Amino acid sequence: MENARLIVGLGNPGARYARTRHNVGFQLLDRLAGRWQAAWKPEKKFQASVAQAEWQGQSLLLVQPQTFMNSSGETVGALTAYYRVPLARVLVAVDDADLPLGEIRLRARGSSGGHHGLESIEQHVGSRDWPRLRIGIGRTADGRREITDFVLAPFEKDEAPVVEAVLTAATGQVECWVADGIEKAMNRFNGTATGPGDKRKTE
């Protein structure tokens, strides 16, 4: 796939984790696959579910690592090496408990922020210089740092409209990154999704 872009959503495999906060990256990738009419296929040699798409004249490889979150780098490292994808053309979508629910933040590079999935990718690609889209999932009301049970729990019913809005905005941001580049995608979409009337929503 010459000049391909790699779009990775982080999460944990299996029905048990499908709708949890930690899997919001998987949820975004499912939306993108649906919009681009791309079919998921298991790729055992990469330990991933992979879907190929063509959009805006570009070749896109959608990836959901099946390694479990903390070993995501095994998949990302293998795919970037196999397809020779420059890291600037690799976008990783990930949950972020340090961002309020409803907020998204795209950056061209950065630290892991303590996120084990991002740490694993850093270790396997040997760099922090790749775009990452952080999707806010909020934090427990008491603000405690140990939040394993929280991130592995589903969103609450009353959070559904916000989750819908943020996934819509994140979908638009990824498409803007593909079509117009990272600067426009950051400037247009970073911030809080406001709901169905959000002007940033994709057409």
> What are the pLDDT digits (tens) for 99-139?
999 999 999 999 998 899 999 999 999 999 999 999 999 87
pLDDT of residue 201: 43
Residue 199: pLDDT above 90? Answer: no
Catalytic site residue from 22, 115, 116, 124 = 22
Distance of alpha carbon 54 from its chain centroid, rounded?
19
CA distance 67 to 57: 31
Strand pairing class (103-107; 132-136): antiparallel
pLDDT of residue 168: 96
Model pTM score:
0.92
Q: What is the DSSP string of 58-110?
A: EEEEEEEE-S-GGGHHHHHHHHHHHHT--GGGEEEEEEETTSPTTEEEEESS-
* Mean pLDDT on 1-7: 85
The model's pLDDT over 16-68, given as tens digits with 9 standing for 90+, comes to 999 999 999 999 999 999 999 999 999 999 999 999 999 999 999 999 999 99
Sheet architecture: strand order including 103-107: 41-43, 48-55, 58-65, 5-9, 90-96, 132-136, 103-107, 191-192
| Residue among 155, 169, 61, 201 at smallest CA distance from 105 | 169
- pLDDT confidence band for 146 (50 / 70 / 90): low
| Residue among 41, 19, 199 at smallest CA distance from 189 | 199
The model's pLDDT over 77-98, given as tens digits with 9 standing for 90+, comes to 999 999 999 999 999 999 999 9
| Residue among 130, 191, 117, 154 at smallest CA distance from 5 | 130
For 56, phi then psi, to 5°, come to: 55, 35
Average pLDDT, the chain: 92
54 HSE (CA, 13 A, CB side): 3
SS3 184: helix
How far, in Å, are 85, 178, 183 from residue 78 at the CA level? 11, 22, 27
Strand pairing class (48-55; 58-65): antiparallel
Residue 192: pLDDT above 90? Answer: yes
The residues, any chain, with a CB within 8 Å of residue 159's CB and separated by 6 or more, are: 101
Asked if 116 is an active-site residue, the reply is: no
pLDDT of residue 143: 58
